Structure 1
Amino acid sequence: MKKALITGIGGQDGSILAELLLQKGYEVYGIIKREAIENPNLKLKNIASIVNEVELIPMSVTDPMAVYKAIKKIHPDEIYHLAASSFVSYEFEDEVAMMNSNFNSTYYLLSSILEINKDCKFFFAGSSEMFGEPFESPQSENSKFNPKSMYGIAKVSSYYLLKNFRDKKGLYTCTGIMYNHESPRRKSEFVTKKIIETAVRIKLGRAKELVLGNLDAVRDWGYAPDYMNAALLIMSQPKPDDYIIATGHLHSVKQFAETAFSLLDLKVDDYIKINTKYFRASENYPLCGNPEKLKGLGWSTSKSFTEIIKMMIEEELTNQTN
């Protein structure tokens, strides 16, 4: 039986991946923050249905000795490094913590498997933020990186770290450069979840308006389980490589809101308010991924833009009415 270790198992992606790996007969281990154990109803909500089927390891991926000990004890066949701090801040202390969380953790994991088990395969969750201010659209695996936040910089740094361990040290390392991807498990701080939650509250008479920033901002939105299936497909290849994981289709924030409200028989224009403090600088070229290389492995998407939003609406209605 193969063993898989997932960092960030309690998040949207980690929980979905854990379910997929269990279905494939893997023995699954998951690294979680210690505070998740203290507040399991909130922090472990996504893995509640499988919590007895996986082994959870409460620790920080920024603790090199803890990382080393965990890998030595488990001796995993595959590691999926999904844990990341995604809060964008320009305060010095926050940026130091961001680099520690998103880059140093990657180094600790890679250096540990290099010493303990060189045959262990490694998947790293990259981000469209690695392109930041793109020079072209859509972006492919050959597009030039141009990150504009410490989050993006940390992801690019980790990408090159994986490449070095692959090319110079012979490890099986892959980066999946993942564009925006949604599911009912999306956290509330994301604009998509904010739209869904507020739309449902308005439908239930519990809210009167939805406050957003730039409605014309566009993103490449996909379905999270499709992206985790992509990670598994990438890791099943004979040779390690890096791939864009995206749909190749753009939609605006307004389109997302319009679709969500229309599914609830509401008109978004009756409730929407604009606050410029939520505006982010728009890119000259939009963040849109070209997934052709991944499609060459047989990958495809299973849910449309509208279907994804419908699933999120239905889940949110259930949560708010129970």
Structure 2
Amino acid sequence: MAASKRALITGVTGQDGGHLAELLHAKGYEVFGLIRGQNNPRKEATVAEFPYVTLIEGDLIDPTSLVRAVEVSDADEVYNLAAISHVGYSFKNPTLTADVTAKGVLNVLEAVRITGRAERTKVYQASTSEMFGGLDYNRPGAGYNENSLFHPRSPYGVAKLYGHWIAKNYRESYGMFVSCGILFNHEGERRGVEFVTRKITHAVARIKLGLQPNIELGDLWPKRDWGYAGDYVEGMWRMLQHSTPDDFVLATGETHSIEEFLTLAFAEIGIDDWRPYVVQNPAFLRPAEVDILLGDPSKAENELGWRREVDFPGLVKLMVAHDLAEQGRLQNR
């Protein structure tokens, strides 16, 4: 019987890390996860939810810890999902964002290379649609693809673009199998409440249960290409099973505004007019906002056979149902 594959996930405590750990475990992988700090507040919950994941302490800004993690895991596949991943936060902490989200990618690649695994360990780099930035929109109506121009509009987008290009550089310079997934917005029940979609569904559930009166948001007009995170980790895995390393856009090919998300979320709790429950707070406005992000997943669909399964209304329904159940449990403790 062939030995099971081994995978190392950085950012295992995040939304995508959780979904990916589940997926790889179901496929028979031995899964290792990088976790930052001895007293990480997410460690206990991660151990409880994913008892099959072997946690290794390390940090993207500590190259020595990454070398150790690569050696201990002896991974066939490394999925670099760790990052300072909140756009708004990146404006307030641009230096930390650069250290983790940009230079951290270099540290991961170097850890694989200097441990002598450049020819046998495949690496997935989590790139992002925020690298496009909503400007230089050279394919109106068709969505950004792998050849579209980049123009990041936040420190997060800029840092991710460095990570994207250094990953491509290591692919070309050292012959490493490094694939970049340019993922458009993907949400779900594991999304942090600091992100607008989960902030909305979390608040909607609490409003339904009489636990809070309203929700404070910034602009409601930006449009995003929103999919389900559980679908997108399947695409990540498929990229590393492909015959050659490459870049792939994962997206739904359609956009919806924050206002549309609000409308569907409140409808799930029987409220047709959400306006009395929403307050605009200038604190949530960004110095530079991206109007629209629309992706073209044709390449991933054609070459990887990847398809999204959960549509936009299904995503909102799933998230509201989860938060209603979670808030109900907390209320009944």
**3-state SS, counterpart of residue 197 of structure 2:** helix
Taking the aligned partners of 1:282 and 1:96, their CA distance within structure 2 comes to 20
Report deviation, 1:83.
0.4
Which digits, 9 at most, give the CA deviation of each residue in 1:14-68, with x for residues without a partner?
0110110011111100001125x453xx5553563322x1100122121011111
Taking the aligned partners of 1:218 and 1:197, their CA distance within structure 2 comes to 20
Taking the aligned partners of 2:246 and 2:121, their CA distance within structure 1 comes to 15
Report deviation, 1:270.
3.0
Which digits, 9 at most, give the CA deviation of each residue in 1:210-262, with x for residues without a partner?
22222211111000011100001111101000011111110010110110000
1:34 aligns with 2:37: yes
TM-score by length of 2: 0.90
| Residue aligning to 2:172 | 167
Work out whether residues 46 and 185 of structure 1, in 8 Å CA contact, stay in contact via their aligned partners in 2: no
Q: How has the CA–CA distance of structure 1 residues 63 and 189 changed in structure 2, closer, same or farther, with 3 Å as cutoff? A: same
| Residue aligning to 1:9 | 12
Structure 2 counterpart of 1:110, one-letter code: L
Identity of aligned residues (%): 37
1:62 aligns with 2:61: yes
| Residue aligning to 2:79 | 80
Work out whether residues 31 and 58 of structure 1, in 8 Å CA contact, stay in contact via their aligned partners in 2: yes
1:294 aligns with 2:300: yes
Residues 43-192 of structure 1 mapped to structure 2, 5 A cutoff: 43-45=43-45, 48-51=48-51, 53-87=52-86, 88-90=89-91, 94-116=93-115, 117-118=117-118, 119-136=120-137, 137=140, 138-192=143-197
Q: How has the CA–CA distance of structure 1 residues 47 and 253 changed in structure 2, closer, same or farther, with 3 Å as cutoff? A: farther
Report deviation, 1:206.
1.6
Which digits, 9 at most, give the CA deviation of each residue in 1:148-178, with x for residues without a partner?
2221111111111111111111000011011
Which digits, 9 at most, give the CA deviation of each residue in 1:93-121, with x for residues without a partner?
x3221111112221111112112212100
Taking the aligned partners of 1:38 and 1:100, their CA distance within structure 2 comes to 19
Taking the aligned partners of 1:254 and 1:80, their CA distance within structure 2 comes to 33
| Residue aligning to 1:215 | 220
Work out whether residues 15 and 47 of structure 1, in 8 Å CA contact, stay in contact via their aligned partners in 2: no
Taking the aligned partners of 1:241 and 1:209, their CA distance within structure 2 comes to 45
Runs (5+) with no aligned partner, structure 2: none
Count of residues in Structure 1 that have an aligned counterpart in Structure 2: 315
Work out whether residues 122 and 174 of structure 1, in 8 Å CA contact, stay in contact via their aligned partners in 2: yes
Q: How has the CA–CA distance of structure 1 residues 246 and 291 changed in structure 2, closer, same or farther, with 3 Å as cutoff? A: same
Structure 1 residue aligned with 2:198, among 180, 187, 193?
193
1:229 aligns with 2:234: yes
Structure 2 counterpart of 1:242, one-letter code: D
Taking the aligned partners of 1:255 and 1:294, their CA distance within structure 2 comes to 27
Report deviation, 1:287.
1.0
| Residue aligning to 1:271 | 277
Report deviation, 1:275.
2.6
| Residue aligning to 1:312 | 319
**3-state SS, counterpart of residue 61 of structure 2:** coil
Taking the aligned partners of 1:269 and 1:123, their CA distance within structure 2 comes to 42
Runs (5+) with no aligned partner, structure 1: none
**3-state SS, counterpart of residue 186 of structure 1:** coil
Taking the aligned partners of 1:129 and 1:290, their CA distance within structure 2 comes to 14
Taking the aligned partners of 1:38 and 1:151, their CA distance within structure 2 comes to 23
Taking the aligned partners of 1:283 and 1:10, their CA distance within structure 2 comes to 27
Cα root mean square deviation, aligned: 1.6
Work out whether residues 83 and 100 of structure 2, in 8 Å CA contact, stay in contact via their aligned partners in 1: yes
Q: How has the CA–CA distance of structure 1 residues 193 and 109 changed in structure 2, closer, same or farther, with 3 Å as cutoff? A: same
Structure 1 counterpart of 2:270, one-letter code: D
Work out whether residues 265 and 320 of structure 2, in 8 Å CA contact, stay in contact via their aligned partners in 1: yes
**3-state SS, counterpart of residue 100 of structure 1:** helix
**3-state SS, counterpart of residue 263 of structure 2:** helix
